[in-house]
Amino acid sequence: MTLTTGAFYNNVSDRIVLTALGPVHYEYRNVDQWKTTGMNLRIQVSLNEWLRLQSDLVYTGFHNSMPEFRKGSFLWSPDWTNEVNISWGDSRWNLNVWHKRTGKTPFFYNQDGQTLQGLNDAWNMLNSSVTYRFLKPQLRIQVGVKNLFNIRQLQANNANGIHIEASNQQNLHWGRTFFTGVTWTL
């Protein structure tokens, strides 16, 4: 078992962000001062060569210089990522399952020429793939799916109730994606 921990702090002047103006309509705006701080913890466990489990917890605080956030407080949001790798058949086969839970995170929108901050609801992402190796592990074939939950939009929560999109939704992802890959190692 391996345990890793860390911390971070960022102080960015004149951060440029993508702000929502309306349905699928965005522009870049300057957020005067932006700070993030946080900590992370990773636990990794391997059982023989057939099973590997990894879990990462990141807790991030977001702060900017907008009037409603000048109190010195941070908006705290957790990210929790878990990964399972299972190998079998003399490690020729591998199953990978990856899950991430992201807590409420800030986003920016424009109202009457003013850049404001809202919150996206928490969301989950799940990916999975199967890999087969053959010809003395020189050839690898992989098939999988990303975004199994088909998450496309999140509920956007604004302190003043202003709607970003017609249904108060914030775009996140293009949806479920299937993929395949072939790798030849010389």
- Is residue 26 scored above 90 in pLDDT? no
Q: Which two tokens stand for residue 19?
A: 């702000």
* 77 CB burial (10 A radius; 0-12, 13-18, 19+): buried
Model confidence over 122-158: pLDDT tens digits? 999 999 999 999 887 789 999 999 999 998 877 666 5
CB 129 within 8 A of CB 142: yes
Half-sphere exposure of 151 (CA within 13 A, CB side): 20
Give the total residue count for the chain.
Answer: 186
Highest mean predicted confidence (pLDDT) among 8-22, 82-96, 108-122: 82-96
Q: What local confidence, expressed as pLDDT, does residue 161 receive?
A: 46
Domain ranges across the chain: 2-184
Q: What is the DSSP string of 11-23?
A: EEEEEEEEEEEET
Average pLDDT for 93-118: 86
CA–CA separation, 133 vs 4, rounded Å?
A: 31
Closest listed residue to residue 153, CA positions, set 164, 167, 166, 169: 169
**pTM of this prediction?**
0.79
